[in-house]
Amino acid sequence: MTKTATKPIRIMLVDDSALVRSGIRTVLSAHANELSTTVIAEAATAAAAVTAARQHKPDVVLLDIRLPDGSGLEACRQILKDRPETQVLILTSFSNDSLVYEAVIAGAKGYLMKEVDPLGLMEVIENAAAGRSVLTPDVTARVLRLLRGGDPAEGVDLAVLSPQERRVLALVAEGRTNKEIGDQLTLSENTVKNYLVSVFEKLKVKRRSQAAAVYVQKSGAPKE
């Protein structure tokens, strides 16, 4: 990675942790000799991220998935709808096949864990800003595994689910465990499992990742 004479890459940081945002700024500053960047905006919520992206027009957005007011993936979709030339990189602590799949479908340029080493982060930012693909072979393979299973959402309507089943499924799509879902909805883990059995049967899927993919693709439909 070599520093060029081009303008600094304009970056927006989206994470509800001020400590995480500060840490990323420190990393970017420490590697200014390798890559010229400038943090032009920060946001701690999905809504603030969308608004800040409209105002500041960043080149690259580093975006967490879990935000206090909703999913970072929905913010990703809205940011790219407003300004398609923006490159969104998911930077999160959560990883499973369904989340990776949903991020790619939402238009994210890459999916990174927060444990990424600084030089790796800088390289990904540089490639994303240049419009190059930054999906690792592992990420690509995980997405292809889901795609090879066909489109689980085809012919499925979320209206077949009860309101509580939809709430459970929405949390599955965020990558929550059964225990986390139970804690949030004040349900036992066994009750959550029972709801998921019903959800899988109604949606005609066999895996959590498939159910999550159905929700992501269909949740924009009018609710009952």
Cβ atoms 46, 67 nearer than 8 A: yes
User: pLDDT at position 224, please?
Assistant: 36
Which residue segments constitute the domains of the chain, with CATH numbers given?
9-147 (3.40.50.2300), 158-218 (1.10.10.10)
CA–CA separation, 19 and 24 (whole Å): 9
Shortest CA distance to 100 belongs to which of 216, 220, 221, 192? 216
Show the tokens assigned to 59.
Answer: 């080149």
Across the chain, how many H-helices and E-strands are there?
Answer: 10, 7
Digitized pLDDT (tens) for each residue of the chain, 224 residues in all: 555 447 899 999 999 999 999 999 999 999 988 899 999 999 999 999 999 999 999 999 999 998 998 889 889 989 999 999 999 999 988 876 677 777 887 888 888 888 889 998 999 999 899 887 676 656 666 665 665 555 555 556 788 899 999 999 988 887 788 888 999 999 998 899 999 999 988 888 777 877 887 787 776 533 33
Q: What is the dihedral of CA 35, 27, 116, 131, to 10 degrees?
A: -30
Per cent of the chain over pLDDT 70 is 84
Q: Which residue type sits at 99?
A: L
Q: What is the pTM of this model?
A: 0.65
Instruction: Name the strand (E) or helix (H) holding 70.
Output: strand 70-71
